[in-house]
Chains A and B, each alone.
Chain A
Amino acid sequence: MSTYVGDAANAPKFQTAAKTLVNDTQVRHNVRHATGVIRRKRAKVVGEMADWEQLRESGHEIKQHVMRHLDFYLDQFEKSCTAAGGTVHWARDADEANSIIVGLVKAQQAKEVIKVKTMTSDEIRLNAALEAAGITPFETDLADLIVQLGEDKPSHIVVPALHRNRMEIRRIFLDKMNLPELSDKPEDLAAAARVYLREKFLRVPVAISGANFAIAETGSVCVVESEGNGRMCVSLPRVLISLVGIEKIIPTFQDLEVYLQTLPRSATGERMNPYNSIWTGITPEDGPQVFHVVLLDNGRTKVLADREARETLDCIRCGACLNACPVYRQTGGHAYGSVYGGPIGAILTPQLQSMEHSQTLPYASSLCGACYEVCPVKINIPEILVHLRNKVVERGDAPFLEKMAMKAAAYVLESPEHLKRARKLGRIAQSPFAKNGVISHLPGGLDAWTAVRDLPAIPEQSFREWWLKREREAG
Chain B
Amino acid sequence: MGSARDEILERIRDATGGATQGREAEYAAIPRNYQRVGTLDAAGKLALFVDRLDDYGATVYRAREHDVASSVAEALRARGKTSLLVPRDLPRAWLPEGFHFFREGPSYHEVDASEGVLTDCAVAIASTGTIVLRHSAGEARRALSLIPDYHLCVVFAAQVVETVPEGIDQMKAFAHIPITTIAGPSATADIEMTRVQGVHGPRILDVILA
Say yes or no: B190 contacts A143, CB within 8 Å. yes
B10 to chain A, nearest CB (A): 9
**Set A54, A57, A186, A280: member contacting B194, Cβ < 8 A:** A186
A52-73 contacts to B, CB under 8 A, are: 54-55, 57-58, 61-62, 65, 67-72
Distance A98 CA – B181 CA, assembled complex (angstroms): 31
CB contacts (< 8 Å) of A246 on chain B: these are 8, 12
Q: Mark B179-199, 1 if CB is under 8 A from A, else 0.
A: 111111111111111101011
CB contacts (< 8 Å) of B182 on chain A: these are 274-275
B160-210 contacts to A, CB under 8 A, are: 164-165, 167-169, 171-172, 175-194, 196, 198-202
CB contacts (< 8 Å) of A280 on chain B: these are 175-178
Say yes or no: A227 contacts B188, CB within 8 Å. yes
B138-154 contacts to A, CB under 8 A, are: 141-143, 146-147
**Set A71, A90, A142, A270: member contacting B13, Cβ < 8 A:** A71
B111 to chain A, nearest CB (A): 9
Counting chain A CB atoms within 10 Å of each CB, the highest count among B52, B56, B128, B178 belongs to B178
B36 to chain A, nearest CB (A): 8
B77 to chain A, nearest CB (A): 26
Say yes or no: A257 contacts B187, CB within 8 Å. no
A309 to chain B, nearest CB (A): 11
Counting chain B CB atoms within 10 Å of each CB, the highest count among A67, A69, A274, A279 belongs to A274
> Which of B66-74, B92-100, B115-123, B129-137 forms part of the interface with chain A?
B129-137
Say yes or no: A235 contacts B11, CB within 8 Å. no
Distance A261 CA – B177 CA, assembled complex (angstroms): 22
Say yes or no: B12 contacts A301, CB within 8 Å. yes
CB contacts (< 8 Å) of A51 on chain B: these are 33-35
Q: Which residue of A lies closest to B55 (CB)?
A: A271
Say yes or no: B190 contacts A161, CB within 8 Å. yes
Q: A166 near B: Cβ within 8 Å?
A: yes
CB contacts (< 8 Å) of A69 on chain B: these are 16, 19-20, 23, 26
B14 to chain A, nearest CB (A): 7
B150 to chain A, nearest CB (A): 13
Say yes or no: A274 contacts B112, CB within 8 Å. no
Distance A279 CA – B178 CA, assembled complex (angstroms): 4
Say yes or no: A236 contacts B11, CB within 8 Å. no
Say yes or no: A202 contacts B27, CB within 8 Å. no
Q: Mark A82-126, 1 if CB is under 8 A from B, else 0.
A: 001000011110001000000000000000000000000000000
B56 to chain A, nearest CB (A): 8
Q: Which residue of A lies closest to B178 (CB)?
A: A279
Q: A182 near B: Cβ within 8 Å?
A: no
Q: A197 near B: Cβ within 8 Å?
A: yes
Distance A268 CA – B108 CA, assembled complex (angstroms): 31
Q: A258 near B: Cβ within 8 Å?
A: yes
**Set B14, B32, B112, B191: member contacting A58, Cβ < 8 A:** B32
A434-455 contacts to B, CB under 8 A, are: none
Say yes or no: B27 contacts A65, CB within 8 Å. yes
Counting chain B residues whose Cβ lies within 8 A of the other chain, the interface size class is: 35 or more
Q: Mark A169-184, 1 if CB is under 8 A from B, else 0.
A: 1000000000000000
The number of residue pairs between A and B whose CB atoms lie closer than 8 Å in the complex comes to 253
B98 to chain A, nearest CB (A): 30
Say yes or no: A260 contacts B198, CB within 8 Å. no
A238-259 contacts to B, CB under 8 A, are: 246, 251, 253-254, 256-258
B1 to chain A, nearest CB (A): 9
Say yes or no: A271 contacts B141, CB within 8 Å. no
Distance A54 CA – B34 CA, assembled complex (angstroms): 5
**Set A50, A57, A91, A258: member contacting B4, Cβ < 8 A:** A91
A208-242 contacts to B, CB under 8 A, are: 215, 218, 220, 226-229, 231-232, 235-236
CB contacts (< 8 Å) of A12 on chain B: these are none
Distance A91 CA – B12 CA, assembled complex (angstroms): 14
B154 to chain A, nearest CB (A): 19
Q: B159 near A: Cβ within 8 Å?
A: no
Say yes or no: A227 contacts B181, CB within 8 Å. no
> Which of A188-196, A406-414, A421-429, A456-464 forms part of the interface with chain B?
A188-196
CB contacts (< 8 Å) of A190 on chain B: these are 188, 191, 196, 198-199
B37 to chain A, nearest CB (A): 12
Say yes or no: A57 contacts B33, CB within 8 Å. yes
CB contacts (< 8 Å) of A231 on chain B: these are 142, 146, 180, 200-201
Distance A264 CA – B189 CA, assembled complex (angstroms): 13
CB contacts (< 8 Å) of B112 on chain A: these are 198, 202
Q: B18 near A: Cβ within 8 Å?
A: yes
Q: A383 near B: Cβ within 8 Å?
A: no
Counting chain A CB atoms within 10 Å of each CB, the highest count among B167, B181, B193 belongs to B193
Q: B64 near A: Cβ within 8 Å?
A: no
Q: A276 near B: Cβ within 8 Å?
A: yes
Q: Mark A291-311, 1 if CB is under 8 A from B, else 0.
A: 000010100011011000000
Say yes or no: A198 contacts B181, CB within 8 Å. no
CB contacts (< 8 Å) of A197 on chain B: these are 200
Distance A251 CA – B186 CA, assembled complex (angstroms): 29
Q: Which residue of A lies closest to B20 (CB)?
A: A72
7 A-B pairs in the complex with CB atoms less than 8 angstroms apart: A54-B35, A228-B201, A236-B143, A271-B52, A287-B141, A297-B8, A305-B14
Beyond A69-B16, A232-B146, A276-B181, list 12 extra A-B contacts (CB 8 Å).
A34-B192, A51-B35, A58-B30, A70-B12, A71-B9, A91-B4, A218-B176, A228-B202, A271-B128, A272-B183, A285-B137, A305-B11
Chain A residues with CB under 8 Å of chain B are 30, 33-34, 37-38, 50-51, 54-55, 57-58, 61-62, 65, 67-72, 74-75, 78, 84, 89-92, 96, 140-143, 146, 159, 161-162, 164-166, 169, 186-187, 189-190, 193-194, 197-198, 201-202, 215, 218, 220, 226-229, 231-232, 235-236, 246, 251, 253-254, 256-258, 260-261, 268, 270-280, 283, 285-287, 295, 297, 301-302, 304-305
Nearest 3 Cβ contacts at the A-B interface: A228-B201, A228-B200, A235-B142
